[in-house]
Amino acid sequence: MKKLKILLLTLMLLTGLYFLLTTKSSLAEQGGNEDLIIYTKPVKAVSFNHKAHSEDYGISCNICHDKIFQMEALNVEKKDDFNHKSFSKGKYCGVCHDGKKGFAMDRQCTRCHIGVKGLNKISKR
- What does the alpha-carbon distance between residue 20 and residue 40 come to, in Å, rounded to a whole number? 22
- pTM of structure: 0.66
- Count of helices and strands (H, E) across the chain: 6, 2
20-75 pLDDT, tens digit each: 444 444 444 444 566 889 999 988 899 999 999 999 989 999 999 988 999 888 99
Sign of CA dihedral 78, 79, 80, 85: negative
Mean pLDDT for the chain? 82
Of the candidates 125, 113, 39, 122, the residue with the CA atom closest to the CA atom of residue 74? 39
Select the CATH number that applies to the domain covering 24-123 from these four: 3.40.50.2300, 3.40.50.970, 3.40.50.300, 3.90.10.10: 3.90.10.10
